[in-house]
Amino acid sequence: MTDLDLARRVYEAAHITGTFLLRSGVTSNEYFDKYLFESDPALLLDIALGLVDLVPAEIDALAGLELGGIPIATMLSQITQLPARFVRKQAKDYGTCQIAEGGIIEGQRLLIVEDVVTSGGAIIDAAAELRAQGAVLGPVVCVIDRESGGAKNLSDIGLTLHPLFTMTQLKAGSA
C-alpha cells in the first residue's frame, strides 16, 4: 500500500464536516474523528506500520496520550516491541495517583504518540508533566498534523513533530 492509499483511507474513514470546536478553542468546519480510524483494526494497524519509520532507534518507550494516542501507541508497541506508557491528562487522585501508567518514566527517553495535532496544547501539557517526572523527551509523532501552529508551538519547547500526514497531504490523497 502506498502512502497515498493510506492517506485516502484515513481521510475517507475520519473526515467529517459540520461545525466543531477544537481543543485549541478554534471553530472548524471540518474535523478528523480519530475514533473512526482508531476503531478500525485494519486501518489502525496500517497507520501504526506507517509510523514505524518515524520511531528513532534510541527511544526507550512510547508515551501514548489520553485518549487518542493510547490505541496508536499500543499498536505501535506491538510492532516495534517498545514498551508503552499511558499518559493521563491529569493524575488520578486514587490508586497509583500517577500521570503516566505502564512503567517507569524517570530517565526514560520517550516518544510522545498523539492522534491529531492542532495547536499542540495537549502535548505541551503532557511534556511538562513528563519532564517533571524525569523523562527525556524525543520527538513527537502523530497521525494528522492539522497545520494550525502545533509544530511551531512544540518546537518552542524543544520538541519536533513528525506527522504521518499533514492536512494538506490528506486532502491531496482524497482528491
Residue of 128, 167, 120, 119 whose CA lies nearest to 146: 167
- Supply the CATH classification number for the domain 41-165: 3.40.50.2020
Q: Contact 117/160 with Cβ under 8 angstroms?
A: no
Spatial distance between the Cα atoms of 50 and 72, rounded to a whole number of angstroms: 11
Q: Contact 137/160 with Cβ under 8 angstroms?
A: no
Per-residue pLDDT of the chain (175 residues; tens, 9 = 90+): 678 899 999 999 999 999 999 877 889 899 999 999 999 999 999 999 999 999 999 999 999 999 999 999 999 999 999 999 999 988 777 777 688 999 999 999 999 999 999 999 999 999 999 999 999 999 999 999 999 999 999 999 999 999 999 999 998 877 6
* The model's pTM: 0.94
The SS3 call for residue 100 is: strand
Residue 85, beta-bridge partner list: 63
Over the stretch 59-72, which tens digit does the pLDDT of each residue have? 999 999 999 999 99
Spatial distance between the Cα atoms of 87 and 124, rounded to a whole number of angstroms: 12
